[in-house]
Amino acid sequence: MGQAFEIADGKVTISRRVALRGAALLAGALLAPASAWALDLPRHKVELVAPPFVHPHEQATKLGPRIMEFRLWVEEKTIVIDEEGTKLQAMTFNGSIPGPLLVVHEGDYVEVTLANPDTNVMTHNIDFHAAAGASGGADLTLINPGERAVLRWKATRTGVFAYHCIPGAMTPWHITSGMSGAVMVLPRDGLKDGAGRPLRYDRVYYIGETDYYVPRDEKGKFKHYDSHGDAYMDTMEVMRKLVPSHVVFNGAVGALTGRNAMPAKVGENVLIVHSQASRDTRPHLVGGFGDYVWETGKFSNPPETNLETWFIRGGSAGAALTKFLQPGIVGYVNHNMIEAFELGATAHFRVEGPWNDDLMTQVMAPGPIVSSAAHQ
Amino acid sequence: MLSAFKLMALATAGLAPIAISALAPRYGTGSAAPSVQLPELVELRTGAIHFRANGEFLRDGKAITAPIVAVTVDRPLAVMKNQVSVADYQLCVKAGACPATGPGETASDRPVVGVSWRDTQTYVSWLSRETGTRFRLPTDEEWAYAAASRFHDDALPEDLYRSDPGQRALAIYDRDAGRVMAADKAPQPIGSFGANENGLLDLAGNVWEWTDTCFQRITLDTAGARTAAVANCGVRVVEGLHRAYMADFVRDARAGGCASGTPPSNLGFRLVRDDVSWPGLRFVLRLVQPGSS
């Protein structure tokens, strides 16, 4: 059949055995539209991009509702999650942790083709928190290696919503191995403040936070496993204690710092979408503000303004709009600083532009305490 | 044209406690046959180098690039050919004198890592006592002299200090983020990183080395004369692929939070023979005005 699924390092072509199975499926699929509910709307195919970036989209649209087509595929693979080289048997949507952010407008239909290439060994599916019914679509998308399924759901609620794999008893393992992402459903006329005035962003970044539970050996070193199956029992034991070994943004310690810091400019409005499919988190901009924050992530509620730190409940996504006021490095951290500094939950914005002396100036550089000042 | 002037070794404050302990009688410098073998030492001849001064410098209340200073080593300097190895360090641990190092490389032919500055002082005391020869950590200046071409100057350009705090932060960030991580963090067998022109092994490999030099902040006036200095001896200079400042109780350097880039991969050390009794100054520091060197 020659149907291929892109993966990080090229293309994986489905094997002949699976191709045959796929052919059988396709024969069935040809009949399917007759029984599936037909929808006569324009279609738009979206090429997804890996986080922290977001595929091009309109913020407000004059178009009517469309069928937005997305392709998601599952990749089980070994990844490195910190500078020490700790390896994780990961599970991903589209090869990235988190999975990509899907952006649509209220009233659009989200049509997702979910594929599970036969290079994988496990069964997967997808639960969209933004979708009504059938466990967010999970019940209709449970697929084995070598299978695919197509799900269509209507975006009836605006906001940012998590999605994740939910394959029965192994759900928490799949989620904490990387299988989560987010959907953003924008109002058709765009974002608004509490008074109904439009809000626009110059850039949008999507940050997915993941907690990992990597087992350690008797010396305290992280263990490496050759396969997911090998890792399962030990990992579950660590998970049940609820103490993560890593809490990371974008899949790994340092994935959004240093050379991977997110660029921005002074004066730009930046929308930061943050999801955590597992546990609570509390984003904070170091030296910045959440000018407009949808803490619970739903745009039908007025955004809170001028927040220092906000709270993202485990199993949800939130959004914050910030205007960068000073150049330099702006940390974006989980303000449980133990998680930020020790476990990895740190990102950096690299902000270019002119410094504003009025907002801040160093009146006196660090120097010796003068005796008279010492007693002040 | 520009008058170079002498700067009394600012490390004085930091060296004092070590020097005092080096004179303590328990070191038994006159004891009988030593029970531990002397480490292999390389004797460096006297000489002079220019190098980027350690610490932070302020002029007219503003941060400036640290000046290049002239360092004169006016007596021969005996430096350990290699970093203290696991085998060396284990002797001290087994003798009950040194604390065991944390988890990590335990092969005896590797440099010992995961040691704090405080641990090095315990080892110095033990080795000096057991060998009947006084040892100490090198100062930062001595390390640079011994490291020669393996010493790295990663100071930011002069003009950056005239720019605003944002540009400065970005420049520091980009420099740190661009640092090449030692390929493999795991300590390699002694000698893996080769010898420098002085015949010293593994300098600026993937194990950074503690020095005795305290962190210092020096204030200069417009003419470049030192008007004030604050030394923080709870923080010591660590040398390797880049210079770092490390709290003396830290055994494992790490980045994180708002810091970027690459911390020292491992913390280890090598010693020098303490040939000169306190308060003899081993070298003279001269601040060299920009352009005069």
Provide the token pair at A60: 């407000």
The pTM (predicted TM-score) of the whole model is 0.83
Q: List the A246-249 sheet strands across, edge first.
A: A246-249, A203-212, A269-276, A316-323, A290-294, A304-307
Exposed / middle / buried, residue B180 (Cβ in 10 Å: 0-12, 13-18, 19+): exposed
Concatenated DSSP letters of B3-63: PPEEE--TTHHHHHHHHHHHH-GGG-TT-SS-SSPPPPEEEEPPEEEEEEPSSEEEETTEE
- What's the pLDDT score for residue B164? 85
Say yes or no for a CB contact (<8 Å) between A365 and B169: no
Instruction: Name the pairing type of β-strands B283-287 and B68-73.
Output: antiparallel
Tell me which residue range forms the domain holding A75.
Answer: 3-29+40-188
Q: Is the pLDDT of residue A209 over 50?
A: yes
Q: What percent of chain A has pLDDT over 70?
A: 89
- In this structure, the answer to whether residues A231 and A314 fall within a common structural domain is yes
8 Å CB contact between A77 and A90: yes
Identify whether A72 is part of a domain.
yes
Q: pLDDT truncated to tens, each residue of chain B (293 aa)?
A: 333 333 333 333 333 333 333 333 344 444 445 678 999 999 999 999 999 999 999 887 788 899 998 999 989 999 999 999 999 999 999 999 999 886 555 789 999 999 999 999 999 999 999 999 999 999 999 999 999 999 998 888 877 777 788 888 898 888 888 776 655 788 999 999 999 999 999 999 999 999 999 999 999 888 888 888 899 999 999 999 999 999 999 998 876 555 566 788 899 999 999 986 543 344 444 454 443 33
How distant is the Cα of B274 from the closest Cα of chain A, in angstroms? 32
Pair (A153, A236) in one structural domain = no
Question: Within a 10 A sphere around the Cβ of B159, how many other Cβ atoms?
Answer: 9
Strand partners, A273: A206, A319
On whether residue A366 sits in a domain, the answer given is: no
CB atoms within 10 A of CB A359: 8
What tokens appear for A363 in the block?
A: 């009146």
The answer as to whether A64 is a domain residue is yes
Residues A331, B258: C-beta atoms closer than 8 Å: yes
Backbone angles phi, psi at A370, to 5 degrees: -75, 140
| CA–CA dist B98, B114 (Å, integer) | 13
Please indicate, yes or no, whether residues A164 and A216 belong to a single structural domain of this protein. Answer: no
Note whether residue A229 is domain-resident: yes
**DSSP class of A222:** B
CA distance B37 to chain A (A): 31
Q: What pLDDT score does A196 carry? A: 97
Can you tell me the distance from the alpha carbon of A87 to that of A99, in angstroms, rounded to the nearest whole number? 19
In a shared domain, residues A183 and A249: no
State the average pLDDT over residues A26-53.
76
Asked if A98 and A226 sit in the same domain, the reply is no
Same domain, A246 and A153: no
pLDDT, position A84: 85
In a domain, A22, yes or no: yes
| Interatomic CA distance for residues B67 and B155, integer angstroms | 10
For residue A75, the cross-strand partners are A92
Any domain includes A197: no
If asked whether residues A218 and A164 sit together in one domain, one would say no
CB-nearest to A219 from B103, B164, B181 is B103
What is the spatial distance between Cα B232 and Cα B234, in angstroms, rounded to a whole number? 5
Give the model's pLDDT for residue B259: 58
Q: How many CA atoms lie within 13 A of B134 on its CB side?
A: 19
Q: What is the pLDDT of residues A247-257, one digit of tens each?
A: 999 999 999 99
Q: Which of B160, B163, B260 to mutate to test the interface with A (most CBs of A within 10 A)?
A: B260
> Does residue A29 have a pLDDT over 50?
no
Which of A348, A349, A369 to mutate to probe the B interface, most B CBs <10 Å? Answer: A348
Say what the pLDDT of residue B158 is. Answer: 79
State the CATH number of the domain containing residue A325. 2.60.40.420
So what's the pLDDT on residue A170?
Answer: 95
Lowest mean pLDDT among A20-29, A211-220, B178-187: A20-29
Lowest mean pLDDT of A200-204, A258-262, B103-107, name the range. Answer: B103-107
- Token pair in block for residue A168: 């029965």
Within a domain: A151: yes
Q: How high does pLDDT run on average in chain A? A: 91
Q: Could you tell me if A130 and A233 lie in one domain?
A: no
Beta bridge partners of B216: B231
Q: Which of A21-25, A370-374, B139-143, B223-227 is predicted most confidently?
A: B139-143
**Same-domain check for residues A66 and A173:** yes
Question: Average pLDDT of A181-196?
Answer: 98
A361 part of a folded domain: no
Q: Is the peptide bond before A56 cis (omega within 30 degrees of 0)?
A: no
The verdict on a CB contact (< 8 Å) between B164 and A355 is: yes
Number of domains in chain A: 2
- DSSP designation for A29: H
Looking at residue B180, its pLDDT comes to 63
User: Residue A282 corresponds to which tokens in the numbers above?
Assistant: 């509390």
Complex ipTM tops 0.85: no
| The CA-based dihedral angle spanning residues A25, A26, A31, A35, taken in that order and rounded to the nearest 10 degrees | 60
Q: Are residues A99 and A145 in the same domain?
A: yes
**Do residues A14 and A162 share a domain?**
yes
Do A219 and A130 have their domain in common?
A: no
User: Does residue A364 carry a pLDDT above 60?
Assistant: yes
pLDDT surpassing 80 at residue A14: no
pLDDT digits (tens, 9 = 90+) for A314-327: 999 999 999 999 99
Nearest Cα neighbor of B230 from A280, A374, A295 is A374
Query: Comparing C-alpha atoms, which of B214, B207, B209, B220 is closest to residue B272?
Result: B209
A12 pLDDT exceeds 70? no
